[in-house]
Amino acid sequence: MKKTLCTLLVLSLTGCSREFIEKIYDVDYEPTNRFAKHLAQLPGQFKKDTAALNQLINAFSGKVKNKWGKREFKIAGKRNYVKYIDNYLSRADVNFESGKIVVETVATTEPKEHLRQAIITTLLTPDDPAQVDLFSSKKIKLDGQPFLYKQVVDQDHKAIQWSWRAKRYADYLIANHLKVKTVDFKKSYYVDIPMVDNQVEIRSYQYANIVRKASQRYGIAEDLIYAIIKTESSFNPYAVSWANAYGLMQIVPKTAGKDVFKLVKKRSGQPSPQYLYNPTNNIDTGTAYFYLLKNRYLKQVQNPTSLQYSMISAYNGGTGGVLNTFSRNRTRAMRDINQLKPNQVYWALTKKHPNQESRRYLEKVTKYKKEFNQH
């Protein structure tokens, strides 16, 4: 586990060229939590270890491309789980947005058996990110409740929790739904596994008590917390991004994490990836950051609805991004926000915010908030 955390920590503290990542994979490179500069973001912090990260990524991608070819390079992100096993010969790609799982292998000897083991491993992977190294082909210890439990059902429409049922379903898939395609002059044997229609809701229910406690602790609405989690990670407990963010609410250790530790928790340092991969810690930290936005950085916003729009936008694009939407002068920007009606503030933040991603972000979170309130 130390090796896993070391690998993730290297990723969290380093930067990577946009061109390199976008060239090899369609990654949402834009920082999920681009916090304001006053949140301990140091000049050049994402550049100083670029060489180290490039070495790590090159080593990992080199092993993947050696087996799969350049066009088939896939890697874990915020809303998808990708795990290689079997010396990079087999992999699983779980897309939490589309609700589709692809398990495949390019093994040349006994490919069906390699695929069978990959399916079983995918179905029984535990709900504990600390046990899974996403950037290697390290074997996973299959114990504890699977993180896909109830999100996938077998041919009898039963949830898969135990080894015997996973093996039985793997045999069924290979016998009835096996597909073959060409991958870099090799054959890829694979199966598509559909997730249940309400897979997002099932994952969200797992965190109901955690969200409720965090809401009560910090005075932040539950529907807002849910909407942020769905936007950031689609309730993917293994979420990791190139913006150095981890877990359900995509917390950046050196910015928001460090700020929460210092100003809310009254403790030194910053949260580790292991700390942030714990759902309770992650949701608590993300909600605590909203508390800081509400009661510290944006406390001068008078209208509650305008304040919430500003908080949501700031979670993605920083407090500075919110204020710069209205004026580069902080005092004037705050005055303008308070003179506008909430719908005008929303319009400005979704149409005039300097960052296009932040414009879409507020729209998404607002939409998801409404959806949660309709259930």
DSSP string, 122-191: HHH-BS-GGG--TTS-PPPP--SSBTTBTTBB-TTS-B--SHHHHHHHHHHHHHHH-EEEEETTEEEEEE
CA max distance for the chain: 70
- Burial label for 103, CB within 10 Å (0-12, 13-18, 19+), is buried
The answer for residues whose C-beta is within 8 angstroms of residue 232's C-beta and 6 or more apart is 32, 78, 239, 245, 248, 249, 250
Choosing from 232, 357, 363, 371, the catalytic residue is 232
SS3 95: strand
What are φ and ψ of residue 109, in 5° steps? -110, 130
**CA 321 distance to own-chain centroid:** 22
The answer for residues whose C-beta is within 8 angstroms of residue 161's C-beta and 6 or more apart is 145, 146, 149
**Distance from C-alpha of 19 to C-alpha of 301, rounded to nearest angstrom:** 39
* Cβ atoms of residues 181 and 163 within 8 Å: no
Catalytic residue check, 232: yes
Residue 251 per-residue DSSP state? B
Which DSSP helix (H) or strand (E) runs through 314?
helix 304-326
Residue 296, token pair as written in the block? 């510290």
Residue 358, token pair as written in the block? 């932040």
**Distance from C-alpha of 307 to C-alpha of 312, rounded to nearest angstrom:** 9
Tell me the HSE value of 163 on the side-chain side, using a 13 A CA sphere.
5
Q: Which residues are catalytic?
A: 232
